């Protein structure tokens, strides 16, 4: 029986603990300073919006941990002593371990803006961020959100749910256009405006101004406009939350460097989830994957290793999903915002302007490479199989009905999509 | 900036936020309700017909105006903002007021109808019951009873709030079709058709003419007054008897096999209809802890056994007392019941025991054994009572405790406090039977979309049956639960498109799709491990 200590009780740490417990009787301890029990941070927005209570974000009941003999410690780790195999907590307690897993997740990026630590300035990541928002929103006349990605648009939706006017500063030409191709990105721009959010494209943050009490009072944009506001949301991406590991001897890049077995440079220390950085990205993936699903997958793989079945982190086909206000988004495989030279893309948009799909395929071989789907749900199992079997784009177009995952009675756009595809890509082009 | 929202309030953004149309809707609706309250105090209106029409029209119009203004002013999509911040929907003052008023209304309705104005001992109706006399005369040719008043208001609630529900979920066609279905069945099959049939068949003994209301939800179907009514009710009565029995043994199992119990519980049933429409604002109050799930299983199956035992006893007594009216003798009936129980449990044990928990198997077999032994002891001792207890008092207790107190007073009265499906979850014997079928012999399931779940908990929170949907979805497992009524709200509120209600082949219905959680595991290893 080994003494396994996990730092962080997010999806990675908790999935790891559960899977180790399933297969062994190792001693398991999870340390977190954020909350006593695991909660789903993806659901924080729904708590603020009043769709759920905080307790609903907890996937396991409070007695689950005791029942499964998983020890929880509510504290933060100040220092890791790799020689003594010991952790020092913020209350000076010393915790020893046989195996240590770092699963500390991310923290919101701050780029050294003047005023970035004022009161009323917050990211949207930790439970504490929600508490900040709760404290400031009753008297907030306008909020400014900086950073046009998934978290930014969620924060905008949250604030709008309480009728707080929102100005949304997006540095890029169009919303999330590093990931979303032009059509989809434009569609989301329109939808943001439809929700009465003041979207400012190609606009960045210069500085945040303070009032006499140290509260944020206004922001100044890089177009030299001053916007009065009481809440500033910083949502320009996240980076690994690993400051406490400096000088520990554990090799760090932007995150904790790990190999395919999720091992760090020091024996018996591992890292998973948002804070882990692969030496090289796996396939087309980035070295750091700050995604819910990858955290869960790494934990499943590491649990195997720690229970005597050495297993590489070997992610299957890429998938992801999000929701932009009312528009759901799913993606399977790879669709690039800017076409790669081998890539051809087919784009269909519904006349309502709220549904779209984009299919990427290989120019020459017509092999299906990936799909973006908006407002139409698609079946993970179907696309996983298609990608594994290297099916062609024609196969996918032909089997769209099978791929569909919309609820019963929903209008099917299969015919419309097929007709447009045939017009564009069949007959005109030969292989 | 022109499209951006502005906040011009001085103190905060949290103003009351009712727009003019919402205020107008509330005014119209509550004036309509006020007329009913005035009628309750026995004010004699000069033209009851007119005032009743005004009242009901205003209530409906008020709901329509309010709902349109509320939901059409925002883009299509999930509109659950502020549910847990509002008094009405988060067990605050408004919720308690409504809970107490509804509960009191049900107590008066079931046990003290004279306070609603029902004329007893041949006296004329007064109060609110009297207010409904003209409408009742038009529809069924008799003066109103408290049940007529109740049925009318019930229908108004389903129609009005069903419209509200449709607007709220107007982006979701499944919800649209399903809600139109419950509105249709309530208005036609539960309200208009039975009333009109009664008018067309005066003089015949009374029996329930609601085609869709079947045993054991309709617990008095086999009671002697009802059976007599059916048997003396001419062709219509005979049709209703045959159809009622066919519903139980043929139609319902077939539909449940193909579509799951949702075909009844959230598409047809009146209790379900009210829960889905009027009760929609309270669905998130259903408790989804494991403890409550345990209580649920014990309660609902106890009620099922109670209703089953009661029905056997009542039929036995009926056959003993009215041998001339029946198709079968009491001996045949008893042997039939015993044979049915043995064959049914035996088959279940033989073919489906792997799908049932050990304690469920044990409980079921013990229970069936006890029932059969009791029946036999009573039968061979020549007792008039089957199952030791007098069938009349058994029936009365069932009517009091389950039929009235549970389904009405607690089931609906406690909507704003315990959620909208209390009765369906904990008390409905029909739901228990259909649930058993759904769990064991059905093509219905909620499919989980591979690894897309983010454990957010919207599905679990908004499940009116208190199913912890997330606990399955996050593992990539399909949801096959006996209590699921297939309302489809979990699928609607899911932000990642993870859940889909489906009817498909029985094989592989219950799965653990670990392959698709994302890791590229070796398929053959996984399959071999699962064997």
Q: Do A297 and B517 touch (CB under 8 A)?
A: yes
Q: How far is CA B94 from CA A26, B410, B417, in A?
A: 51, 18, 11
pLDDT at res. B2: 44
Q: Which of A52, A321, A407 sits opposite B457 (nearest CB)?
A: A52
Of the residues A255, A285, A306, the one at which a domain ends: A306
Residue A115 counted as domain residue: no
Q: A36 — contact with chain B (CB < 8 Å)?
A: no
- Chain A contacts in chain B segment 467-486 (CB below 8 A): 470-471, 474
CB B473 within 8 A of CB B479: yes
Q: Which of A59, A161, A191 sits opposite B455 (nearest CB)?
A: A59
Residue A312 counted as domain residue: no
Asked whether the predicted pLDDT for residue B500 surpasses 60, the reply is yes
Q: Do A59 and B17 touch (CB under 8 A)?
A: no
What is the least distance, in Å, from the CA of B239 to any CA of chain A? Answer: 34
Q: Domains (ranges, CATH) in chain B?
A: 16-73+112-200 (no CATH), 443-530 (3.30.70.20)
Nearest-CA residue of chain B relative to A62? Answer: B289
Mutate to test the interface with B, among A52, A301, A386 (most CBs of B within 10 A): A52
Rounded distance between C-alpha atoms, residue B68 and residue A164, angstroms: 23
Does one domain contain both A298 and A351?
Answer: no
Does one domain contain both A298 and A267?
Answer: yes
Does one domain contain both A229 and A259?
Answer: no
Q: Which chain B positions have a beta carbon within 8 Å of A163's beta carbon? A: 5, 7, 13-14, 17
Q: B526 — contact with chain A (CB < 8 Å)?
A: no
Nearest-CA residue of chain B relative to A58? Answer: B457
Q: How confident is the model at residue A258 (pLDDT cuts 50, 70, 90)?
A: very high
Rounded distance between C-alpha atoms, residue A80 and residue A167, angstroms: 42
Asked whether the predicted pLDDT for residue B16 surpasses 80, the reply is no
pLDDT at res. B383: 66
Please, what is the end-to-end C-alpha distance for chain A in angstroms? 59
Q: Which chain B positions have a beta carbon within 8 Å of A294's beta carbon? A: 518
Q: B531 — contact with chain A (CB < 8 Å)?
A: no
Q: A55 — contact with chain B (CB < 8 Å)?
A: no
CATH number of the domain within which A244 lies: 3.50.50.60
What is the least distance, in Å, from the CA of B179 to any CA of chain A? Answer: 13
Does one domain contain both A139 and A93?
Answer: no
Rounded distance between C-alpha atoms, residue B55 and residue B68, angstroms: 20
Q: A285 — contact with chain B (CB < 8 Å)?
A: no
Of the residues A306, A328, A344, the one at which a domain ends: A306
Q: Do A163 and B496 touch (CB under 8 A)?
A: no
Rounded distance between C-alpha atoms, residue B139 and residue B191, angstroms: 10
Share of chain A above pLDDT 90, in %: 98
Average pLDDT over residues B11-33: 83
The number of distinct structural domains making up chain A is 3
Q: Is the dihedral of CA A117, A121, A127, A128 positive or negative?
A: positive
What pLDDT digit, counting tens, does each position of B264-316 carry?
Answer: 999 999 999 999 999 999 999 999 999 999 999 999 988 988 888 888 888 88
Residue B216, preceding bond cis, omega within 30 degrees?
yes
Q: How far is CA B2 from CA A166, A220, B6, B370, B376, in A?
A: 13, 20, 9, 75, 82
Residue A300 counted as domain residue: yes
Asked whether the predicted pLDDT for residue A342 surpasses 70, the reply is yes
What pLDDT digit, counting tens, does each position of A109-121 carry?
Answer: 999 999 999 999 9
Q: Which chain B positions have a beta carbon within 8 Å of A160's beta carbon? A: 5
Q: Is the dihedral of CA B473, B476, B477, B478 positive or negative?
A: positive
Does one domain contain both A101 and A7?
Answer: yes
pLDDT at res. A428: 55
Q: Do B455 and A42 touch (CB under 8 A)?
A: yes
- Chain B contacts in chain A segment 7-26 (CB below 8 A): 11
Cα angle A106, A111, A116; round to 5? 90
Of the residues A272, A306, A340, the one at which a domain ends: A306
What pLDDT digit, counting tens, does each position of B457-476 carry?
Answer: 999 999 999 999 999 999 99
Q: B172 — contact with chain A (CB < 8 Å)?
A: yes
In the numeric block, which tokens belong to residue A364?
């020459």
Does one domain contain both A91 and A133?
Answer: no
In the numeric block, which tokens belong to residue B88?
């009405």
What is the least distance, in Å, from the CA of B211 to any CA of chain A? Answer: 27
Residue A311 counted as domain residue: no
What is the least distance, in Å, from the CA of A315 to any CA of chain B? Answer: 4
Q: A411 — contact with chain B (CB < 8 Å)?
A: yes
Does one domain contain both A281 and A231?
Answer: no
DSSP for B68-80, please give it.
HHHHTTS-SS---
- Cβ-based neighbours of B16, under 8 Å, separated by 6 or more: none
Mutate to test the interface with B, among A380, A389, A409 (most CBs of B within 10 A): A380
Does one domain contain both A201 and A185?
Answer: yes
What pLDDT digit, counting tens, does each position of B199-255 carry?
Answer: 887 777 778 778 788 889 888 898 888 988 888 888 888 898 999 999 989 999 999
Does one domain contain both A44 and A144?
Answer: no
- Write out the residue range of the structural domain in which residue A402 sits: 319-425
Residue A393 phi/psi, 5° resolution? -60, -35
What pLDDT digit, counting tens, does each position of A136-161 carry?
Answer: 999 999 999 999 899 999 999 999 99
- Chain B contacts in chain A segment 296-315 (CB below 8 A): 296-297, 300-301, 313-315
Q: Do B496 and A381 touch (CB under 8 A)?
A: no
CB A181 within 8 A of CB A196: no
Q: What is the ipTM of this complex?
A: 0.95
What is the least distance, in Å, from the CA of B482 to any CA of chain A? Answer: 20
For all residues of chain B together, what is the average pLDDT? 88
In the numeric block, which tokens belong to residue B147?
């049940």
Residue A148 counted as domain residue: yes
């Amino acid at each position: 029986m080994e003494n396994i200590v996990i730092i962080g009780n997010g999806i990675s740490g908790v999935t790891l603990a559960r899977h180790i417990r399933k297969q062994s009787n190792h001693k398991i301890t999870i340390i977190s300073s954020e909350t006593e029990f695991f909660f789903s941070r993806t659901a924080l927005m729904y708590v603020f919006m009043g769709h759920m209570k905080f307790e609903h974000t907890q996937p396991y009941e409070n007695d689950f941990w005791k029942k499964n003999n998983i020890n929880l410690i509510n504290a933060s780790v100040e220092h890791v002593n790799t020689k003594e195999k010991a952790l020092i907590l913020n209350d000076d307690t010393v915790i020893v371990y046989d195996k240590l897993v770092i699963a500390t997740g991310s923290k919101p990026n701050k780029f050294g803006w003047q005023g970035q630590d004022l009161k009323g300035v917050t990211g949207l990541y930790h439970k504490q961020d929600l508490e900040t928002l709760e404290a400031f929103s009753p008297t907030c006349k306008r909020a400014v959100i900086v950073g046009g990605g998934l978290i930014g648009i969620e924060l905008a939706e949250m604030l709008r749910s309480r009728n707080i006017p929102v100005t949304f500063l997006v540095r890029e030409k169009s919303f999330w256009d590093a990931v979303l191709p032009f059509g989809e990105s434009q569609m989301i721009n329109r939808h943001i405006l439809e929700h009465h959010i003041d979207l400012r494209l190609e606009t960045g943050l210069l500085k945040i101004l303070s009032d006499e009490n140290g509260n944020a009072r206004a922001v100044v944009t890089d177009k030299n406009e001053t916007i009065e506001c009481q809440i500033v949301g910083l949502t320009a991406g996240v980076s690994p939350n690993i400051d406490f590991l400096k000088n520990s001897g554990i090799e760090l890049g932007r995150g904790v460097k790990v190999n395919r077995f999720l091992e760090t440079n020091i024996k018996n220390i591992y890292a998973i989830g948002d804070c882990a950085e692969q030496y090289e990205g796996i396939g087309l993936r980035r070295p750091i994957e700050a995604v819910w699903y990858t955290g869960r997958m790494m934990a499943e793989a590491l649990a195997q290793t720690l229970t005597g079945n050495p297993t590489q982190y070997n992610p299957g086909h890429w998938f992801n999903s999000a929701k932009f206000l009312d528009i759901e988004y799913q993606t399977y495989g790879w669709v690039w915002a800017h076409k790669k030279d081998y890539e051809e893309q087919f784009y269909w948009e519904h006349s309502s302007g709220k549904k779209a799909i984009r299919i990427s395929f290989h120019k020459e071989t017509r092999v299906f490479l990936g799909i973006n789907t908006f407002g139409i749900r698609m079946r993970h199992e179907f696309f996983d199989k298609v990608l594994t079997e290297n099916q062609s784009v024609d196969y996918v177009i032909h089997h769209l009905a099978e791929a569909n995952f919309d609820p019963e009675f929903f209008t099917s756009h299969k015919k419309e999509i097929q007709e447009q595809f045939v017009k564009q890509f069949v007959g005109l082009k030969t292989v | 900036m022109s499209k951006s929202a502005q906040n011009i309030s001085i103190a905060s953004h949290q103003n009351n936020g009712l727009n003019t149309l919402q205020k107008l809707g509330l005014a119209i609706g509550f004036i309509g309700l006020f007329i009913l309250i005035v009628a309750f105090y026995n004010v004699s209106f000069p033209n009851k017909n007119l005032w009743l029409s005004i009242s009901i029209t205003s209530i409906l119009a008020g709901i329509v105006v309010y709902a349109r203004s509320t939901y059409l002013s925002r883009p299509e999509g999930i509109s659950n903002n502020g549910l847990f911040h509002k008094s009405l929907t988060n067990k605050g003052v408004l919720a308690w007021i409504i809970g107490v008023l509804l509960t009191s209304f049900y107590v008066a309705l079931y046990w003290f109808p004279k306070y609603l104005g029902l004329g007893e001992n041949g006296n004329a109706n007064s109060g609110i019951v009297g207010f409904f006399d003209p409408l009742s005369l038009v529809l069924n040719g008799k003066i109103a009873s408290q049940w007529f008043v109740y049925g009318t208001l019930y229908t108004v609630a389903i129609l009005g709030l069903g419209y509200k529900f449709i607007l709220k979920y107007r982006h979701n066609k499944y919800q649209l079709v399903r809600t139109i279905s419950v509105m249709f069945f309530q208005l036609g099959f539960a309200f208009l058709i039975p009333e009109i049939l009664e008018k067309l068949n005066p003089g015949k003994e009374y029996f329930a003419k609601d085609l869709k209301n079947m045993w054991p939800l309709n617990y008095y179907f086999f009671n002697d007054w009802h059976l007599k009514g059916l048997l003396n009710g001419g062709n219509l009565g005979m049709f209703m008897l045959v159809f009622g029995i066919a519903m139980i043994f043929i139609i319902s199992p077939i539909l449940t096999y193909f579509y799951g119990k949702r075909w009844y519980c959230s598409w047809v049933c009146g209790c379900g209809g009210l829960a889905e429409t009027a009760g929609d604002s309270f669905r998130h109050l259903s408790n989804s802890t494991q403890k409550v799930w345990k209580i649920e299983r014990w309660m609902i199956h106890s009620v099922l056994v109670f209703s089953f035992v009661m029905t056997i006893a009542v039929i036995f007594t009926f056959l003993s007392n009215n041998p001339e009216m029946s198709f079968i003798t009491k001996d045949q009936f008893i042997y039939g019941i015993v044979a049915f129980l043995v064959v049914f449990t035996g088959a279940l044990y033989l073919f489906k025991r792997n799908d049932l928990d050990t304690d469920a198997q044990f409980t079921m077999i013990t229970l069936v054994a006890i029932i059969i032994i009791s029946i036999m002891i009573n039968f061979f001792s020549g007792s008039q009572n089957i199952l030791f207890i007098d069938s009349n008092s058994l029936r009365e207790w069932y009517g009091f405790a389950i039929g009235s107190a549970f389904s009405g007073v607690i089931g609906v009265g406690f909507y704003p406090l315990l959620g909208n499906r209390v009765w369906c979850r904990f008390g409905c014997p029909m739901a228990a039977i259909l649930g058993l079928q759904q769990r064991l012999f059905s093509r219905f399931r909620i499919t989980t979309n591979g690894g897309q779940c983010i454990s957010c908990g919207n599905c679990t929170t908004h499940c009116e049956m208190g199913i912890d949907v997330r606990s399955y979805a996050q593992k990539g497992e399909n949801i096959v639960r006996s209590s699921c009524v297939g309302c489809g709200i979990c699928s609607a509120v899911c932000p990642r498109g993870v859940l889909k209600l489906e009817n498909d082949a029985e094989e592989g219905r219950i799965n653990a799709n670990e392959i698709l959680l994302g890791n590229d595991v070796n398929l053959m290893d996984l399959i071999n491990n699962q064997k």
